[in-house]
Amino acid sequence: MRIGLVDLDTSHPEAFLPLIRAAGHEVVGVHDSGDVHPHGYAQGFADRHGIAQVFTSLPHMAAEVDAAFLHGCDWDRRVERAAPFAEAGVALFVDKPFGGRAADLRQMCTWAEAGVRIAGGSSLRWCAEAAAWHERHPADPAEFALVGCSGDPFDYGVHAYSLLHGLLGPGVSAARHLGGHVQHRVELAWHDGRTGMVSLGPTAARHPFHATVLTETDVEHLICEPGRLYESLLTAVLPFLAGQAPAPLPLTALMEPELAALAARASQREGGRWVALDDPAVDGVSYDGAAFAARYRDARYPGAAGRSGAAR
C-alpha cells in the first residue's frame, strides 16, 4: 500500500513507521493539522524519515494513497479528517480512541457498511499477552477479568476497555459506573451474562497495563509488555487494510470499547445505573477531544499557548 500519515501529534506515527515498512508498505506522504506541533514540524518529520511529500490538503492526499493513518489527538475531528478518504474509498486506520461521540462512531460504521476498509483503535485489543492467554485456555474461557491502567480516563482508559474486550471477546451489552477512590471503576456486561471490570484514571505512579483473569479452573495475572504492542496491532490490521484478508473484527465490534466508555460516562451522570450501549443516554455524553489535544500540546510545548499552528 501507499500510505499517508495524517496528524503527527503523538509518538505513534514515528513508532509505526518501521513496522509499516517492514510489512512491505510505503509511507508516501504526511499531513499535519497543527493541533499539537508548530509550523514546519511535518516537513522535518518527512525529512528525517525519508518521506517524499508533505501534503497541505487532505483531498489531495486521498487521491495519492491507498490507506490513511489518522493519528490526531483531537478525536472530535476524526470524522472531518476521515471524510475525504472515506469518500474516495481509501482505507482508514483510525488511532485510538476511534471517537468520543456515539454519532462519530456511527458515521464510521456507515462508511464501513458502504465498503470502506476501516480498522484501528487500541493496540491492547490485540496484545500478545491476551493472545497467549487464549492459546493456554482453548476450552476454558474467561468468566471475569479485572483490567486496569493509569492515565487519562478516555485516551488511556480505552486501553483498559480494549484489553478486557480482547480477553472476553465481542458482545458487550452495557456498562455501569461503580465510583471509586483514586481511580474510577466500571463494570461491563456481556450479552451472554459474563461481566468484567476496568479500573482507570491518573495515579501517582504509572501502572502497567494489567489484567487478572478468572475462568472456571484458573486465575491468572497478566502484565502487558509495551514494546510489543504496536507490532501486534499492525499484524492484525494491515492485511485487512491492504485488501489481503478479512477484517479481524467487524468495525461495530471493534468499537465496543469506546461505546462502553461512553455508556460508563452516561451511567456516572445518572447515578450508576446500567446503561446499554445503544441507550439514547449514550448520545447525550461525550469525551472532549479538543480539550485533550490542548492539554497534550501544552505538555509537549510548555508555554507555547497561542502560537500559530501548522499550515492546513
Q: How confident is the model at residue 305 (pLDDT cuts 50, 70, 90)?
A: low
Q: How many CA atoms lie within 13 A of 284 on its CB side?
A: 9
Cis-peptide into 84, omega within 30 deg:
no
Q: Look at residue 272 and tell me if it is in a domain.
A: yes
Average pLDDT over residues 250-255: 98
Contacts of 71 (CB under 8 A, 6+ apart): 5, 6, 7, 8, 9, 10, 12, 13, 95
Q: Look at residue 8 and tell me if it is in a domain.
A: yes
Q: What is the DSSP letter of 77?
A: G
Residue type, 168: L
Q: Look at residue 90 and tell me if it is in a domain.
A: yes
96-137 residue pLDDT tens: 999 999 999 999 999 999 999 999 999 999 999 999 999 999
DSSP string, 122-134: -GGGG-HHHHHHH
* Claim to verify: residue 130 and residue 272 sit in the same structural domain: yes
Average pLDDT over residues 300-306: 77
Average pLDDT over residues 33-50: 97
Domain that holds residue 263: 124-226+258-285
Secondary structure class of 226 (helix, strand, coil): helix
* Claim to verify: residue 89 and residue 158 sit in the same structural domain: no
* Claim to verify: residue 81 and residue 142 sit in the same structural domain: no
* Claim to verify: residue 53 and residue 177 sit in the same structural domain: no
225-240 residue pLDDT tens: 999 999 999 999 999 9
* Claim to verify: residue 144 and residue 214 sit in the same structural domain: yes
Answer with the residue of higher pLDDT: 108 or 304.
108
Q: How confident is the model at residue 310 (pLDDT cuts 50, 70, 90)?
A: very low
Contacts of 95 (CB under 8 A, 6+ apart): 10, 12, 69, 70, 71, 72, 120, 121
* Claim to verify: residue 87 and residue 130 sit in the same structural domain: no
257-293 residue pLDDT tens: 999 999 999 999 999 999 999 999 999 999 999 999 9
Q: Look at residue 161 and tell me if it is in a domain.
A: yes
185-225 residue pLDDT tens: 999 999 999 999 999 999 999 999 999 999 999 999 999 99
197: how many CB neighbours lie within 10 A of its CB? 17
Q: Look at residue 308 and tell me if it is in a domain.
A: no
Looking at residue 303, what is its pLDDT? Answer: 82
- Please report which helix (H) or strand (E) contains residue 34, including its range: none
Q: Look at residue 301 and tell me if it is in a domain.
A: no
Average pLDDT over residues 30-59: 97
CATH number for 69: 3.40.50.720
**pTM (2 decimals)?**
0.96
| Residue 121, strand partner residues | 95
Q: How confident is the model at residue 306 (pLDDT cuts 50, 70, 90)?
A: very low
Give the Cα separation of 12 and 288 in Å (integer): 21
Dihedral over alpha carbons 124, 126, 127, 129 (to 10 degrees): 120
**How high does pLDDT run on average in the chain?**
96
Q: What percent of the chain has pLDDT over 70?
A: 97
* Claim to verify: residue 130 and residue 89 sit in the same structural domain: no
Whether residue 140 is predicted with pLDDT greater than 60 in this model: the reply is yes
* Claim to verify: residue 88 and residue 139 sit in the same structural domain: no
* Claim to verify: residue 56 and residue 144 sit in the same structural domain: no
Count of structural domains within the chain: 2
Q: Look at residue 244 and tell me if it is in a domain.
A: no
Looking at residue 64, what is its pLDDT? Answer: 98
Whether residue 309 is predicted with pLDDT greater than 90 in this model: the reply is no
Q: How confident is the model at residue 308 (pLDDT cuts 50, 70, 90)?
A: very low
Whether residue 158 is predicted with pLDDT greater than 80 in this model: the reply is yes
Looking at residue 307, what is its pLDDT? Answer: 45
